[in-house]
Amino acid sequence: MRRHRNVKIVATLGPASNSYEMIRKLFEAGADVFRLNMSHGSHDEIRVRHETIRKVEADLGTPISILADLQGPKLRVGVFAEDGGVELVPGADFRLDLDSTPGDIDRVQLPHKEIFDALEPGASLLVNDGKIRLKVKDCGADFANCEVVVGGQISNRKGVNVPDVVLPLAALSDKDRKDLEFVCELGVDWLALSFVQRKADVDEARALAKGRAAILSKIEKPSAVKSFDEILEASDGIMVARGDLGVELPVQNVPPIQKRLVRQCRAAAKPVIVATQMLESMIESPMPTRAEVSDVATAIYEGADAIMLSAESAAGSYPIEAVTTMDNVAGEVESDPTYTQIIESSRAAVRHSVADGIVAAAREIAETTNVKAICCFSQSGTTASLVSRERPRVPIIALTSEERTARRMCLSWGTINVVVGPVDRFKSAVIAAVRAARAELNASDSDMIIVTAGVPFNTPGSTNILRVAPCEERLIYSADPE
């Protein structure tokens, strides 16, 4: 099922989008990847959602990608003696400690010793999504005496962010490790890691996944931004999670960070998702705000591989409308001549390998001749990712004999993913490419396609052949396309 746009859409599933009928409608409206949020729902509920997606996939005969988003460590205050909590006033003193006694106007428990181990005087603590800001005056192994900088209502188990320090916390909690094993056994395609701080967090998840899923790191902490080069190198993909990033950093810092991270991901040929609050008002309204439409458009103009819906599709009243809105915005942006100018002017000239040269040449040929598509054979997805990085003006058909590769590639910009039978020589690859171009793009005898592949076949990263071939029907029935 070909999309008439290149950017991909990720839709989160939840109470508003559990049924077969709704998931199918979301896909038909434009969703390419479905996100399973492991913060919500039991394993039995996640299993049912996974099975339903695969049923939709089988019925429609097209690859669909599934992303499991791990919860990550959740830092929260304890409980208060009064049900409604207390009102903190700017300038007042407030203490956080390990004492489990219910809190009051002077103190509350913070049951995370690792935070106290890392804190220093002058550090900031943000409570309830940054609505309350505390500054540490002095601290020890089991307490932090703070001044209330920005006050407000604080109540039971509100979340805590610590933006100024790298916490001695692994990105994977005990719950995450159990969830990781569960979803890998189910057969998800991508694992999203929450609250990544360092490369070691990604390495730990990869060791546990054992190749069963690709690793996508969520950038939502200042420490992750500082260590981004190492995190990007260790990851298969990136999510710019602007919600927590905007809590832990001044909000004006987020747009330039988003732009920089998207460009770095593209240069590295790794897919990047821009996420959080993209169409937030559509949780309750069938129409987005103008600012939200502009936000979605900006991510597309920047060259993001994918844009994501969270509560809009998981719990909102208008999930289909939200996906349709994203699809419409994407179509309008990508038809704008300015979009092509921006994308092409931001293209990084990467020439480190034979494969880099092959895909760059394929894109240049496509731009100077009347070529219908670039068809790339990719066992692991690497070649298709390199072609996607080039952002060619013609469609990309990614062919693979590995179903899991086709599913993972659903996250990459511009790819039409096709599963073919085993291919052991280049002549067979040309035949398969012609079939795919005729089926997916309605190519005719007069059309030409570019075919890239690697010899020997079934060797990841071996791209070394480029051929321009006619889409003649006779090739499909020919034992020898030469």
> Do 363 and 235 belong to one domain?
no
Residue that finishes a domain, picked among 140, 161, 182? 161
Residues 97 and 208 in one domain: no
Number of CB atoms found within 10 A of residue 48's CB? 13
Output the CA–CA distances (angstroms, integers) from residue 225 to 48, 242, 385, in the order listed: 36, 12, 23
Q: What is the domain count for the chain?
A: 3
The CATH number given to whatever domain includes residue 220 is 3.20.20.60
pLDDT band for position 307 (cuts 50, 70, 90): very high
**Residue 450's beta-bridge partner residues?**
374, 468
- Whether residue 45 is predicted with pLDDT greater than 70 in this model: the reply is yes
pLDDT in tens, 141-198: 999 999 999 999 999 999 999 988 888 888 899 999 999 999 999 999 999 999 999 9
> Which is more confident, 476 or 395?
395
Q: Which two tokens stand for residue 444?
A: 């005719």
Could you report the per-residue pLDDT of 224-252, keeping only the tens digit for each? Answer: 999 999 999 999 999 999 988 999 899 99
What CATH number corresponds to the domain at position 125? 2.40.33.10
At 249-296, the pLDDT tens digits run: 999 999 999 999 999 999 999 999 999 999 999 999 999 999 999 999
pLDDT of the residue at 476: 74
Q: How many CA atoms lie within 13 A of 197 on its CB side?
A: 14
d(CA 9, CA 21): 18
Asked if residue 347 belongs to a domain, the reply is no
Indicate the range of 87-96, 366-375, 472-481 predicted with least confidence.
472-481
Token couple for 53: 């997606």
Question: Looking at the predicted structure, is the pLDDT value of residue 359 above 90?
Answer: yes
191 part of a folded domain: yes
Residue 461, pLDDT above cutoff 70: no
The pLDDT confidence band at residue 478, using thresholds 50, 70 and 90, is low
For 330-358, write each residue's pLDDT tens digit: 999 999 999 999 999 988 777 678 889 99
Q: Indicate if 284 and 424 belong to the same structural domain.
A: no
**Which residues are part of the catalytic machinery?**
35, 76, 218, 276
Question: What percent of the chain is modeled with pLDDT above 70?
Answer: 97
Is 117 buried (19+), middle (13-18) or exposed (0-12) by CB count in 10 A? middle
Q: Looking at the predicted structure, is the pLDDT value of residue 361 above 90?
A: yes
Q: Are residues 143 and 175 in the same domain?
A: no
Assess whether 188 and 66 both reside in one domain.
yes
> Whose CA is closest to 142, among 117, 169, 161, 105?
117
- Give yes or no: residues 255 and 374 share one domain: no
Which range of residues forms the domain containing residue 139?
86-161
Across the chain, what does the average pLDDT equal?
Answer: 94
Ramachandran sector of residue 290 (left: φ over 0; alpha: ψ -120 to 50; beta: rest): alpha
Domain check: are 204 and 318 in the same one? yes
Separation between Cα atoms, residue 313 and residue 318, nearest integer Å? 7
CA gap 392, 4 in Å, rounded? 14
Neighbours of 361 (CB within 10 A): 14
Residues 284 and 317 in one domain: yes
